Structure 1
């Protein structure tokens, strides 16, 4: 192994460093832009990365071919060349196909040791790049940025998103620090469904709109982290996706039970627009009280008063809402209807009145209640869901919208895509029917000093007298 790795590094020292020196010279003498230097270095270093990766894989394969443990359990069938796309670009290498001596499936043992599944054409680092970009921009851009000077198709990116198993990151319990007041805010996005153009439900029950939900629990405003223009929520935790409401509220309820001491909590304020699925949370969350979201209330007030020229009636309606005076509210609506001529507009006014009265308890609770910090669900939906799902003219499948919602929620909860991808790979490997013998993996992984000779090699550059930057860097590695 030392000789193969030595060849890779030696080749870079003899040829790669000359190319780098040439690019540096051109950058200085021709007064090129810094980008030219960075891109030039990136090209040479990625080439080195591809060479080293290929040689490590081939050397591991050679070791398996010569392993005493392997010879006991596996027979050589043939050697094949394959290519895997990495962040460095495509890496081509040869590996051996083995068959077990006592039944079981034939396989490339080196693939299994380095975590490559039988049908993998890209390495996990590329999948991580793809998911990070797909969560922020588009499947097309994610495919373009998958690997150095290479791209994968939109369809392949979509498949990676659809196949992703998203488990939200763990949380630490805060039972000792449980506050008296907890806040839950909830809302949903409205996303165009791919291939469904119906304005209403059709005979198969297919709708043109998907509605991913968003629910988050927090402890109020974090004044230490907030600024005048930006309020930060304290210990916020997010949930959602295209989910069954009961399943979603069960998850939220379990989070609260696991994280807080519910005996110390006096009230849980549940804010939203009054939708049935949001109010359903009252049945699941102990000590919860509904608060009507001011944003949606304001929208209905505008709907009821936009056509009026008499500002006094509008003020009368707003005063009735601030004081939660139901009699005054009904009088205000009666005056609005008297001044409304259009039947269509009358229906809109009556719908606004019905909405407000149906959510009266959620309005009443806010009167002189200084514990309620206000609902920012609309802004959170916009930032977490709409920015990716509904702000552009595109259609989504139900699975795609659900996975993308959950992926963005996962990132908002502080999750790392690397951990998500690696956890899924490990799960898939555990579920494989046939596993390598522990003895072979242990021999391959733990063998002491296997790679030490690589860096102890008698490299020419280290013997030269001129102390170049490369000399210093390599000397530091060797120690």
Structure 2
């Protein structure tokens, strides 16, 4: 690629020179530690914003010289406002038109993978999404505001929505590949046994004909391991969550599980649930899977029905453990005859529940290895989405649920620290920019000293000139460029 002269580095030197002057003045005038820290921080942010804008404009200048002039014509500048982790700033970049097709493009945006409607930088987006998944959007904006001037609750909300939508599209694409295009997932990880648990949590809706909606949560894992203090953690955990019909969500779960694990190596699959019909549908998607009623939910039902009758409660638990259905029916019949009203209705409801889920109760001893879903629901969904006063649109609830699942899987950064733009066609150009900037800075030692009159002027003896600008003028500055 043809080399072009680098733009004047004087603006960068001026920024640092001005920062030195302001900090020097502040030191002599400030008498309050808090105020000194606050003002130095603000000055540093102002300088960082200017340096960041200068860096972007330098890349844009290099691109205008490196472009194919036979194809791309500059038709003007367009200013763009963006909020970064340093604060809000504006940058001017060139708009090009393709002479053959008439297509208009910003080469700078493409090299950086800068989406047209994105109002914040990737690093700030990562901060906003991670904080927004922990606390309400307004509180997240308040916390970020201590470090990033100008960010609003709406900006945090938008960042979460963008990340959640990218995750939804990724899950839907994977589901379509398997269930609509007939592709076979090629999971690489090996395991002979899988546990998959499913449950839901109801959240309040806003701007909807429905008042509430269930967020479905699924967790797949290969077992449990001790982590100390008598506690255990799930091994190889994979969380899936969203707002959707049971069948569609199970399709997404299967495509995700099969994309991770080699299903041909899996010999046993246990599906745990509380007995909800949509949750039990999982056996239709995992051949040979065995449904197991979650022991936590089973015990809760027993306590609700027999909190007043300890003898019946203990007897039924023992009969269930032995798989003796006749004994269970006998004990429940006797307990029901001894009570009336609401207590009797609860016992009758429990018996119906046990009959509907009997195969899941006595199928296997695998039940003792399950029971993780309740804690997963509380930790990964309910803690954020069921806060006092929280309400969601249906789409917003789905996106947040997916963000929370990605956080639980430790992959949220993939959807926040990079913009969701395909850069393959521009990667060679981006690499060329990096190499050219590095080479030019290495050449800068001889000429950019001459562009810094402060090194020889009346301020040459000032500390911020001797110790900042003089070091900046050394060719070794190139070592800062990766």
Q: TM-score range by the shorter chain?
A: 0.7 to 0.9
* 1:208 has 2:211 as partner: yes
1:116 counterpart SS class: coil
Deviations 1:74-115 (A, max 9, x none): 444344444322221111233344433334234444344333
Deviations 1:39-96 (A, max 9, x none): 444322211211112222333444455x274543344434444432222111123334
Equivalences for residues 84-99 of structure 1 within 5 A: 84-99=82-97
Task: Please give the alpha-carbon distance, in whole angstroms, between the structure 2 residues aligned to 1:315 and 1:473.
Answer: 80
CA contact (8 A) 2:214 2:243 kept: yes
* 1:151 has 2:151 as partner: yes
Give 1:47's aligned residue. Answer: 46
Inter-CA distance 355–86: structure 2 relative to 1 (3 Å threshold): same
- Residues paired across the two proteins, number: 446
- The Cα of 1:399 is off from its aligned counterpart by 0.8
- The Cα of 1:380 is off from its aligned counterpart by 0.1
1:232 counterpart SS class: strand
Task: Please give the alpha-carbon distance, in whole angstroms, between the structure 2 residues aligned to 1:418 and 1:262.
Answer: 26
Inter-CA distance 349–466: structure 2 relative to 1 (3 Å threshold): same
Give 1:8's aligned residue. Answer: 12
- The Cα of 1:358 is off from its aligned counterpart by 1.4
Give 1:364's aligned residue. Answer: 362
1:102 counterpart SS class: coil
Task: Please give the alpha-carbon distance, in whole angstroms, between the structure 1 residues aligned to 2:262 and 2:414.
Answer: 32
Q: 2:126 aligns with which of 120, 128, 140?
A: 128
* 1:173 has 2:188 as partner: yes
- The Cα of 1:241 is off from its aligned counterpart by 0.9
CA contact (8 A) 2:270 2:366 kept: no
1:424 counterpart SS class: coil
- The Cα of 1:331 is off from its aligned counterpart by 2.2
- The Cα of 1:214 is off from its aligned counterpart by 1.2
* 1:346 has 2:344 as partner: yes
Deviations 1:302-338 (A, max 9, x none): 22123x2x43233222322232322222222223222
Give 1:162's aligned residue. Answer: 161
Task: Please give the alpha-carbon distance, in whole angstroms, between the structure 2 residues aligned to 1:109 and 1:267.
Answer: 53
* 1:222 has 2:225 as partner: yes
In the superposition, the TM-score normalised over structure 2's length comes to 0.79
- The Cα of 1:246 is off from its aligned counterpart by 2.7
1:215 counterpart SS class: strand
1:278 counterpart SS class: helix
CA contact (8 A) 1:5 1:52 kept: no
Runs of at least 5 residues in structure 2 that lack an aligned partner in the other structure:
175-184
Task: Please give the alpha-carbon distance, in whole angstroms, between the structure 1 residues aligned to 2:287 and 2:217.
Answer: 20
- The Cα of 1:157 is off from its aligned counterpart by 3.9
CA contact (8 A) 1:185 1:272 kept: yes
Task: Please give the alpha-carbon distance, in whole angstroms, between the structure 1 residues aligned to 2:217 and 2:152.
Answer: 31
Give 2:407's aligned residue. Answer: 411
CA contact (8 A) 1:158 1:400 kept: no
CA contact (8 A) 2:96 2:107 kept: yes
Give 2:56's aligned residue. Answer: 57
Runs of at least 5 residues in structure 1 that lack an aligned partner in the other structure:
197-205
Q: 1:102 aligns with which of 74, 80, 100?
A: 100
1:270 counterpart SS class: strand
Give 1:312's aligned residue. Answer: 311
2:284 counterpart SS class: helix
2:275 counterpart SS class: coil
Task: Please give the alpha-carbon distance, in whole angstroms, between the structure 2 residues aligned to 1:238 and 1:472.
Answer: 54
For the aligned residues, what is the CA RMSD?
3.7
Equivalences for residues 50-449 of structure 1 within 5 A: 50-64=49-63, 67=65, 69=67, 71-144=69-142, 145=144, 148-154=148-154, 156-163=155-162, 164-166=165-167, 167=170, 173-175=188-190, 178-179=191-192, 181-196=193-208, 206-223=209-226, 226-262=227-263, 264-306=265-307, 308=308, 310-342=309-341, 344-366=342-364, 369=365, 372-420=368-416, 422=418, 424-426=420-422, 444=433, 446-447=435-436, 449=439
Inter-CA distance 319–23: structure 2 relative to 1 (3 Å threshold): farther
Deviations 1:177-220 (A, max 9, x none): x23x3211111111111145xxxxxxxxx532211211121111
CA contact (8 A) 2:225 2:233 kept: yes
CA contact (8 A) 2:312 2:331 kept: yes
CA contact (8 A) 2:293 2:367 kept: no
- The Cα of 1:26 is off from its aligned counterpart by 8.4
Task: Please give the alpha-carbon distance, in whole angstroms, between the structure 1 residues aligned to 2:103 and 2:330.
Answer: 80
Task: Please give the alpha-carbon distance, in whole angstroms, between the structure 2 residues aligned to 1:104 and 1:410.
Answer: 41
